[in-house]
Structure 1
Amino acid sequence: MTNQRLSTVWRIVTVFVLTCMVWWLSKAIRIWMGAGGDYDRTTHVLSAVLILSLVLPLIVFARKYVDKRSWAGLRLTSFKEGWKPFVFGGLSYLIPAGIALIIFVWFDWTEIQFHVSVGSLVLTIITLLILVFMYEALPEELIFRGYFYRNLNTSLAKWKAVGVQSLLFVLFAVSIGAALSVERIVFFFAVGIIIGMVRVMTENVWGAVGLHVAFQTMQQLFSPHNQELTSTTPGLMEIVILGIIPFSFAIMTLKLFVRTEPDWKEVDTE
């Protein structure tokens, strides 16, 4: 009797609903604090702490008492084992994004304007790295590329599990108001597929976290909320230079570091 547990579908539904509730709570607190739709760094920090402090115990509890399986199966290893996948995941985004940025600046298709000193810029980047890691990268990757992917892969082939977890990622984005247009829905689905592939190829959730941290840090560095760096073509910067191009070449770039090709038809039974 102790090994009886919910079916895969109900385990995923339960954790998905609880996940959405965490982000809804965070949004409600931001509104209560008066942030609303405006960006506020203090509120960002508090939201990051809140989400991480709720998501970690949620997944620990779900893995132990709902899945009744070990934490190791999620493949969020210690950072001692995961730092290489983390770096490889980050580089899979940063290398094509950096090349695209150089090309577009070289041919005067865009211009980068610096409004602060190097020291202030470095401090901003470090701050964003920490906030992105806490607020988005670690919690979202632990849930979608960790918990959901692992449960799906026990009955579905790797490529199917990647696809389904990406659909869940889109549904999550719609539920919290982050994907309210067709373009955003397509974007979230594509991002979910690419990051899911990175997780499979590196065999570690830290690989997915690394890409997520690199992507969101670059995006937020050029967002209207941070004025340290600006582009003369913000739409082109966000959608093409830091979006379509790096994600189109991320897997190709990752193969420079990860030579082993996974068996995409494999079902990782428990």
Structure 2
Amino acid sequence: MTTMIGTGRRPNVVVRLAAVITASLLIWLAMGWLADTAFAAWPPNIAHTANAVVVLVLAVPMVIAARRYLDRRPWAGLRVTGPGEGWRPLVVGAVSWLVPGVAGIVLAVSRGWVQISVTGPVTTLVGTVGLLVVLVLVFEAFPEEVIMRGYVYRNLAAAMPPWSAVAVQTLLFTLFGTVLWTVTAGWTAAAEQAGMFVGMGAVLGCIRVMTGNVWACIGYHLVFQVAAQLLLGDRHSIVTVDGAQTLTLVAFATAFAIGPIITALLSPNDANWSRPEPDGTPTRPTGMAS
């Protein structure tokens, strides 16, 4: 006899999404609590690394479990592919931010609207950027995209046209970010970030549809956040920016507006925006046979 999991009736899509988003909030809140208590006395880079590891080791297994026991569908349906298939979408996503983003930075600096200064040696700058890439990938880009443009989007796209799925996941991503920021930093800080949540959700959702691969979303998210934390954040003093608000408008907002166009130019022209996409067949894990 063969033991099968996933052949019974699975929970409603609303229940599944609510469970995963709630679990995600609890994971990020737990990380914040650890950062304020257990990691508070640690050096900043080590504490940030610990935060990243906590999020990764909790969030990814949570999605794996939800996919297996709530969705009862194969992991492959999320389109978080292996490196052989994922490297090109990753590059497409990264380039989709880099082309308009770097062009905006160059324009702002060359016109004198913004001044960017490096206050340390090049080796320190390279090390800072390298560490940022790793931490952003582990802490933000990979787990957030697996959850939002992987799990959440896939469940929505099975129930509605992809364009509607993009809109709904944008709302859910904005809700997730707003609740998290309200709890951890207050309503004022959350309201200031709301526009970014909407923009990111919409842009990354469109990239997910056009490429059919979560790695494209990871690439865009990764490059965007590395640039934002290096140039607009206050954690890395090796780079100082005079005119940050102008830079935000000229480079970062422009990259949000033009990024999906770059993705469309670099992706196949057969993206499905109008038809719901059935989510495979129930999983049947291998059991003991006799």
- Could you say which residue in structure 1 is the equivalent of 2:198? 189
The structure with more radius of gyration: 2
**Aligned partners of 1:121 and 1:228 also within 8 Å:** yes
**Aligned partners of 1:218 and 1:242 also within 8 Å:** no
Task: Name which of 71, 75, 88 aligns with 1:67.
Answer: 71
Quote the offset at 1:255 in angstroms: 2.4
Using the TM superposition, name which of 226-235 and 196-205 deviates more. Answer: 226-235
Gaps of 5+ in 2: 1-5, 280-290
- Could you say which residue in structure 1 is the equivalent of 2:252? 243
**Matched ranges for 1:113-132 at <5 A:** 113-132=117-136
Quote the offset at 1:183 in angstroms: 4.2
What percentage of aligned pairs have identical amino acids?
33
Task: Name which of 24, 32, 41 aligns with 2:37.
Answer: 32
**Aligned partners of 2:178 and 2:191 also within 8 Å:** no
**Aligned partners of 2:181 and 2:190 also within 8 Å:** no
Give the letter aligned to residue 225 of structure 1: R
Using the TM superposition, name which of 143-152 and 187-196 deviates more. Answer: 187-196
User: Alignment RMSD, CA only?
Assistant: 1.8
Q: What does the per-residue CA deviation read over 1:129-160, in whole Å, with 9 as the maximum and x for residues that have no partner?
A: 00000000000000000000000011110010
Give the letter aligned to residue 250 of structure 1: G
Task: Name which of 6, 13, 19 aligns with 2:24.
Answer: 19
Quote the offset at 1:186 in angstroms: 2.3
- Could you say which residue in structure 1 is the equivalent of 2:220? 211
Tell me: higher relative CO, structure 1 or 2? Use CA pairs within 8 A at least 6 residues apart.
2
Task: Name which of 232, 235, 251 aligns with 1:225.
Answer: 235
**Aligned partners of 1:138 and 1:209 also within 8 Å:** yes
Task: Name which of 161, 174, 178 aligns with 2:178.
Answer: 174
Q: What does the per-residue CA deviation read over 1:60-88, in whole Å, with 9 as the maximum and x for residues that have no partner?
A: 11101110000000000002210100010
Give the letter aligned to residue 38 of structure 2: M
- Could you say which residue in structure 2 is the equivalent of 1:109? 113
Moved beyond 6 Å, runs of 4+: none
- Could you say which residue in structure 1 is the equivalent of 2:282? none
- Could you say which residue in structure 2 is the equivalent of 1:144? 148
Provide TM-score, normalisation by structure 2: 0.88
Q: What does the per-residue CA deviation read over 1:134-191, in whole Å, with 9 as the maximum and x for residues that have no partner?
A: 0000000000000000000111100100111111111111121167444421221121
- Could you say which residue in structure 1 is the equivalent of 2:286? none
- Tell me the matched-pair count: 268
CA distance in 2: counterparts of 1:73 and 1:150, whole angstroms: 8
Question: Secondary structure of 1:219's match?
Answer: helix
Quote the offset at 1:6 in angstroms: 0.3
Question: Secondary structure of 1:112's match?
Answer: strand
